[in-house]
Amino acid sequence: MSTTDVKQSSLALVIATYNWPEALKLVLESVLVQTVMPDEILIADDGSGYATKLLIDAYRDKFNIPLRHFWQEDNGFRKTLIMNQAIASTDCEYIVQVDGDIVLNTHFIEDHRRVAEKGHYIRGSRVQVSDIASKGLIRRGYDGNMPAYMPGISNRINALRSLLLSRFFIKKSKRSNNVIGCNCAYWRADFVKVNGYNCELNGWGHEDIELASRFINSGLSQKKVKMMAVCYHLHHPLQSRFRESVNYNIYQETARKGIMFCAKGLTNLRY
């Protein structure tokens, strides 16, 4: 597929969130100042309270693109299910996925359009923001200016954006175990082909690498990018990880057996 074809493909930004409207506000502010806008925004909400709904409703009129809110009852960590519901609803050809605590560099969507390539899914990176710096951002709001030299961030190389240097950091592989769901992208057709997220994975952990493993098993390659599609991860307490080992075992089985299609995914959203 040529660059022109990729640029003409419709793109949805999917934001996964749960009960942190102050962080989601920053994310939406960072979307408003993008150099290139997505065609629509899908908020996959895993059971947040009313404050999140009020925030999303307040921001709808600020966008000249659809801002759609998908909500399910809070019944534990069920991100896989609400992500499937959101992505099943869109006709957009390309999906860029972030979390509701990920603040976007102003060129984030532009960069993802730039690196999209048929036969590949994208593995991006993130900048870690300290607790103090995160609270400061939430207090001040987002003005589009988050330089690589700002205090309170770690893995600072991930904050650098250079289209010239980024070409030397692109790596293509058949790897799946390094994916981070807070900055990744894929063609919706590829997502449908593997039946979306595996809803056998409940609780925190490894739903992203399990999906990536089925991408690889279906014939895709990973395209890892750095120094572009920059984003900032706000600090928060760790999620409960009581199901992590169970989820990781499912991932390992998927990788070992070459499974391409999960039993509980897009095709049976109600169960």
pLDDT computed for residue 144 by the predictor:
76
Whether the Cβ atoms of residue 61 and residue 77 lie closer than 8 Å to each other: no
133 pLDDT above the threshold of 70 = yes
> Alpha helices of the chain — where are they, by DSSP H?
3-8, 21-32, 50-60, 79-88, 108-115, 131-140, 163-169, 188-193, 207-217, 244-257
Determine if residue 151 is left, alpha or beta; phi over 0 gives left, psi from -120 to 50 gives alpha, anything else beta: beta
Residue 80: name the closest of 232, 227, 221, 191 by CA: 191
Lowest mean pLDDT among 51-60, 94-103, 135-144: 135-144
pLDDT computed for residue 2 by the predictor:
40
- Give the pLDDT confidence of 199-250 residue by residue, as tens digits: 999 888 899 999 999 999 999 999 999 999 999 999 988 767 778 999 999 9
- Give the pLDDT confidence of 4-59 residue by residue, as tens digits: 455 679 999 999 999 999 999 999 999 999 999 999 999 999 999 999 999 999 99
61 pLDDT above the threshold of 50 = yes
As a 3-state breakdown, the chain gives helix, strand, coil percent values, each rounded to 5, of: 40, 20, 45
The proportion of the chain whose per-residue pLDDT surpasses 90, expressed as a percent, equals: 84
Determine if residue 152 is left, alpha or beta; phi over 0 gives left, psi from -120 to 50 gives alpha, anything else beta: left
Q: What is the mean pLDDT of the chain?
A: 93
Confidence of residue 150 (pLDDT cuts 50, 70, 90): confident
Distance (Å, whole) CA 31 – CA 246: 35
pLDDT computed for residue 70 by the predictor:
98
Lowest mean pLDDT among 48-57, 100-109, 169-178, 236-245: 236-245
Whether the Cβ atoms of residue 77 and residue 45 lie closer than 8 Å to each other: no
Q: Is the pTM of this model over 0.75?
A: yes
Domain 3-268 sits in CATH 3.90.550.10: yes
Buried b (16+ CB within 10 A) or exposed e, 72-110: eeeeebbbbbbbbbbbbebebbbbbbbbbbbbbbbbbbb
Give the β-pairing of 40-45 and 11-17: parallel
Residues 6 or more apart whose Cβ sits within 8 Å of residue 252: none
Residue with the larger pLDDT of the pair 63 and 269: 63
Confidence of residue 3 (pLDDT cuts 50, 70, 90): very low
Residue 62: name the closest of 34, 91, 98 by CA: 34
pLDDT computed for residue 4 by the predictor:
40
Lowest mean pLDDT among 85-89, 149-153, 216-220, 258-262: 149-153
Sorted by where each begins, the domain ranges of the chain are 3-268
Confidence of residue 182 (pLDDT cuts 50, 70, 90): very high
Query: Which tokens hold the place of 64?
Result: 């000249």
